[in-house]
């Protein structure tokens, strides 16, 4: 049976490792296609505040451009493996992808991760070696590494047939010649039209797969996804299907197509279109298929990988609770987590024996950290525990998650890095020398990377680059040394005094500044010893009526160590907690009183 095709439509995803230029590439495609005449800011697809601050894509988003007589739907995906759930749920909407690889950095763990996911779905590739204008670009080495990666991951010989283009997202040019340093995006548009297949109807009846959810105060739930079969129009009755669930009939109230940054209202949509639709009177979940009332045909939804790291999130019970935030109770936290579960498909939330504590599991420390940071900015107060990896029993053997770690360092630091990772049960898989730098590739337990970043930056004097992504589960590797230094714990509540810190800074690294409020049991610094130390940061200088024989030395304090959320998550031990409020991030012991910590 011959299926219908949408010859003038292309659906494509842009995938790459973090910071290899995906979102900048989308900017250029929007600009040079004429879809957006004027762009007020760069990286227009990074609309989230956290995305703009960190310069990374966290949420997958889609846009549409018009190129001649062709409509091209583009999905911009995250490059970090912690947000792999976003990649997995959106790649199903497209027939092909553009793989961006930085000409200088080459193939990195994120490149392998996203390419593996795309090839599993048998999508057609276009390879674009980006940033060829960099002074340290090594195009030949990068291209060879890309071909090796495809040979390693491809499951079908047809996946090895792909065009290779060269260009610069920042400069706005692409060509088939690696030495050409100017031009336009025209060769990329032509490659998309010529190499990415047109959408083909999958079935005889309507199938619209929901891959994302949004909400409007006026329209209610908005389902975003792709029509795989049939047609859909405003006013049409439909049902929702997922696994064994079939909803009661509902009616389409609005259909939107994506053009540039806007959703353009439409009367109908056909197979191949990526759209947003409304009209839901029942709750809907990602992975739900919208079907005709008389033909319930659920579309297969790709399985999202299981979480590998968990934390315990609880109500803030510190002495300072309620000072900053407005959302404090377990009920408010529970409602917020349930809302997050509707769109964050890789997240898992489980209740515990205590109603004030929730176990949250995700794909990595960054995945969980972004959730906590988002809640903090919304006005929540909470406490979180140290991250723990999730063990599994596979064939009767206790197994743990393993990461694929790639490190680039100057050659003089390779010894100390290899020694440090050796203590953390890492296995070196490859070593490549190029110039005065060396690339080291390891397989390392996920738990070994908790707290690794700060030590790594210290060992390499800030010149090292480390990237990693989840690889697989392997048998438990044995004990790994954790933080070797103890904590400096405040034994008093009150205001921090410069006089006290002047005496304490010789005994460790401080996290607090003068005049900051602290409470008993709060951690104010890292001890220089391997055990915890109780100190009094509120001690004031005794005043007397005796005249000093000389002038008192002025207090000179070293700058405190900045402890952001990710740094705290790496630093803490199991008997410690992070107190997170809209204005402060504090470290504390679980037991605030000394007798509570003796057990």
Answer yes or no: are the C-beta atoms of 128 and 167 closer than 8 Å: yes
Structure-token match 């006290």, residue found: 500
In the chain the first and final C-alpha atoms are separated, in Å, by 73
Q: What DSSP element (H or E) covers 11?
A: strand 9-16
Pick from 298, 296, 297, 278: which is nearest to 288 by CA?
Answer: 298
pLDDT in tens, 376-434: 888 999 999 988 888 888 888 889 888 888 888 888 888 888 888 888 888 888 888 87
Pick from 199, 20, 31, 9: which is nearest to 98 by CA?
Answer: 20
Distance CA 577, CA 384 (A): 6
Distance CA 501, CA 536 (A): 9
Bridge partners of residue 312, in order along the sequence: 359
Give the list of residues 6+ apart from residue 422 with CB closer than 8 angstroms, or none.
none
pLDDT for 471 equals: 81
Answer yes or no: are the C-beta atoms of 574 and 589 closer than 8 Å: no
Answer yes or no: are the C-beta atoms of 380 and 316 closer than 8 Å: no
pLDDT for 43 equals: 47
Answer yes or no: are the C-beta atoms of 137 and 174 closer than 8 Å: no
Query: pLDDT class for 579, splitting at 50, 70, 90?
Result: very high
Question: Reduced to 3 DSSP states, what percent helix, strand and coil does the chain have, rounded to the nearest 5?
Answer: 25, 35, 45
Residue 576, φ and ψ in degrees, nearest 5? -125, 160
pLDDT in tens, 511-532: 888 888 899 889 989 888 888 8
pLDDT in tens, 85-131: 777 778 888 889 999 888 888 888 778 888 888 888 888 999 999 88
Distance CA 266, CA 268 (A): 6
Structure-token match 């954790």, residue found: 482
Distance CA 46, CA 34 (A): 20
Retrieve residue 220's tokens.
Answer: 């209610």
pLDDT in tens, 278-326: 888 888 888 888 898 888 888 888 777 778 889 999 998 888 888 888 8
Structure-token match 């609309």, residue found: 47
pLDDT for 312 equals: 92
Q: Give percent above pLDDT 70 in the chain.
A: 92
Strand-pair category, 585-589 with 576-580: antiparallel
Angle between helices 139-153 and 109-120 (to 10 degrees): 40
Residue ranges of alpha helices (H) inside 222-302 are none
Answer yes or no: are the C-beta atoms of 28 and 172 closer than 8 Å: yes
CA-to-CA dists, residue 11 to 63, 173, 195, angstroms: 10, 21, 12
Residue 50 sits at the vertex; the CA angle it makes with 45 and 52, to the nearest 5 degrees, is: 45
Q: Look up the pTM and report it.
A: 0.79
Answer yes or no: are the C-beta atoms of 22 and 76 closer than 8 Å: yes
Domains and CATH numbers, the chain: 9-195 (3.40.50.300), 207-291 (2.40.30.10), 392-475 (3.30.70.240), 487-568+587-597 (2.40.50.250)
Structure-token match 């007020």, residue found: 40
pLDDT for 599 equals: 55
Distance CA 198, CA 75 (A): 16
Pick from 227, 222, 224, 247: which is nearest to 237 by CA?
Answer: 247
Residue 244, φ and ψ in degrees, nearest 5? -95, 0
Pick from 100, 167, 84: which is nearest to 404 by CA?
Answer: 84
Mean pLDDT of 343-350: 82
Answer yes or no: are the C-beta atoms of 86 and 78 closer than 8 Å: yes
């Amino acid at each position: 049976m011959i299926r219908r095709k949408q010859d003038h439509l292309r659906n494509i995803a842009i995938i790459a490792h973090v910071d290899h230029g995906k979102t900048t590439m989308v900017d250029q495609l929007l600009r040079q296609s004429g879809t957006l005449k004027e762009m007020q800011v760069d990286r227009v697809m990074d609309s989230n505040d956290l995305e703009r601050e960190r310069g990374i894509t966290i949420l997958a988003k889609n846009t549409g451009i018009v190129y001649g007589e062709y409509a091209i739907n583009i999905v911009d995906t995250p490059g970090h493996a912690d947000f792999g759930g976003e990649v997995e749920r959106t790649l199903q909407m497209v027939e092909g992808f553009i793989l961006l690889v930085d000409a200088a950095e080459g193939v990195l763990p994120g490149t392998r991760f996203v390419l593996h996911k795309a090839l599993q779905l048998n999508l057609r590739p276009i390879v674009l070696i980006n940033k060829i204008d960099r002074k340290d670009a090594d195009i030949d080495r990068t291209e060879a590494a890309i071909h090796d990666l495809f040979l390693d991951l491809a499951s079908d010989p047809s996946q090895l047939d792909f065009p290779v283009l060269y260009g610069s997202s920042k400069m706005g040019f692409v060509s088939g010649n690696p030495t050409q340093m100017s031009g336009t995006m025209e060769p990329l548009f032509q490659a998309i039209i010529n190499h990415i297949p047109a959408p083909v109807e999958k079935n005889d009846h309507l199938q619209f797969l929901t891959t994302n959810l949004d909400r409007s105060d006026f329209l209610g739930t908005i389902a975003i996804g792709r029509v795989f079969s049939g047609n859909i129009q405003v006013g049409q009755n439909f049902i929702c299907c997922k696994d064994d669930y079939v909803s009661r009939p509902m009616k389409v109230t609005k259909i939107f197509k994506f053009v540039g940054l806007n959703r353009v209202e439409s009367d109908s949509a056909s197979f191949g279109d990526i759209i947003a639709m409304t009209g839901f009177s029942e709750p809907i979940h990602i992975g739900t298929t919208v079907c005709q009332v008389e033909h319930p045909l659920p579309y297969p939804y790709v399985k999202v990988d299981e979480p590998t790291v968990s934390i315990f999130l609880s109500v803030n019970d510190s002495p300072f609770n309620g000072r900053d935030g407005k959302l404090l109770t377990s009920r408010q936290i529970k409602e917020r987590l349930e809302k997050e579960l509707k769109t964050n498909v890789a997240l898992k939330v489980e209740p515990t024996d205590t109603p004030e504590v929730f176990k949250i599991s995700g794909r990595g420390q960054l995945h969980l950290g972004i959730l906590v940071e988002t809640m903090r900015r919304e006005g929540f107060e909470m406490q979180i525990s140290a991250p723990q990896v999730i063990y599994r029993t596979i064939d009767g053997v206790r197994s743990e998650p393993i990461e694929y770690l790639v490190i680039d360092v100057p050659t003089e630091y390779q010894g100390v890095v290899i020694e440090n990772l050796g203590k953390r049960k890492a296995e070196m898989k490859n070593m490549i020398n190029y110039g005065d730098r060396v690339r080291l590739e390891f397989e390392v337990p996920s738990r070994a990377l908790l707290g690794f970043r700060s030590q790594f930056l210290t060992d390499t004097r800030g010149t090292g680059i480390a990237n990693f992504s989840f690889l697989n589960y392997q048998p438990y590797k044995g004990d790994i040394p954790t933080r070797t230094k103890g904590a400096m714990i405040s034994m008093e509540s009150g205001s921090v005094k410069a006089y006290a810190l002047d005496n304490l800074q010789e005994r460790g690294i401080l996290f607090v500044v003068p005049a900051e409020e602290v409470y008993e049991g709060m951690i104010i610094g890292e001890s220089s010893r391997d055990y915890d130390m109780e100190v009094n940061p509120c001690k004031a200088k005794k005043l007397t009526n005796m005249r000093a024989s000389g002038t008192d030395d002025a207090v000179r304090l070293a700058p405190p160590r900045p402890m952001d959320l990710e740094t705290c998550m790496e630093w803490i031990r199991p008997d410690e907690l992070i107190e997170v409020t809209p204005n402060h991030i504090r470290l504390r012991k679980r037991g605030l009183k000394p007798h509570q910590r003796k057990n």
